[in-house]
Amino acid sequence: MEKTFVMIKPDAVQRNLVGEIISRIERKGLKLVAGKLMSVPKSLAEEHYVEHTDKPFYNDLVSFITSAPVFAMVLEGEDAVKVARHIIGETNPSEATPGTIRGDLGLTVGRNIIHGSDSVESAEKEINLWFNEDEISDYESPQDAWLYE
Ligand code: DAT
Ligand code: MG
């Protein structure tokens, strides 16, 4: 089963949206297999956003993500990477479709609520970057039989 990395950003944690967001993920059927509230060391933030090093918003992005705790998660399910990106919505909340997390809960690109891995390869990289193997659970859920054929 595919895994993806999702992180609720400082703005959403401060706005008490953690429960709302996890609830949407649970209702969709993605399985929470790891999760932790944590302050992000600068080195981790820089590594996580390494592909954006040359962008004009890079410094602000690193400052933002290290400014207050985040809630980091690993989710599992069929096509988990694509499904998580769909329910998260477009990068800029002002353009994100209503019904998505960013479309319903955010307003601006610099405070866009949540991160989700953009490919299976980056998911693997990000899961290894943010979690130790022993923090990820492997378990059966009774609803699996009603989510999958
Ligand atoms: P996503 O988070 O949808 O994968 P991304 O990887 O292109 O988007 O960018 C990473 C984050 O950087 C994004 O969540 C918010 C910020 N960002 C992206 N484009 C931006 C811009 N034009 N101005 C300010 N921040 C931006
Ligand atoms: Mg991205």
**pLDDT tens digit at each of 149 positions of the chain:** 999 999 999 999 999 999 999 999 999 999 999 999 999 999 999 999 999 999 999 999 999 999 999 999 999 999 999 999 999 999 999 999 999 999 999 999 999 999 999 999 999 999 999 999 999 999 999 999 999 99
Q: Is the CB of 111 under 6 A from ligand 1?
A: no
Which protein residues have a CB closer than 5 Å to ligand 2 (ion)?
118
Give the dihedral of Cα atoms 23, 26, 28, 30; nearest 10 deg.
140
Catalytic sites, residue numbers:
115
pLDDT (0 to 100) of residue 120: 98
Q: Is the CB of 48 under 6 A from ligand 1?
A: no
CB 87 within 8 A of CB 24: yes
Q: Which atom of ligand 1 is nearest to the CA of 115?
A: 2
Q: Which two tokens stand for residue 143?
A: 């609803």
Minimal-distance CA residue to ligand 1 atom 19:
109
User: Rounded to the nearest whole angstrom, what is the distance from the C-alpha of residue 109 to the centroid of ligand 1?
Assistant: 7
pLDDT (0 to 100) of residue 40: 98
pLDDT (0 to 100) of residue 73: 98
Q: Which two tokens stand for residue 79?
A: 């096509």
Minimal-distance CA residue to ligand 1 atom 1:
91
- Ligand 1: residue of 62, 109, 113 to mutate (most ligand atoms within 8 A of CB) is 109
The single-letter DSSP state of residue 92 is S
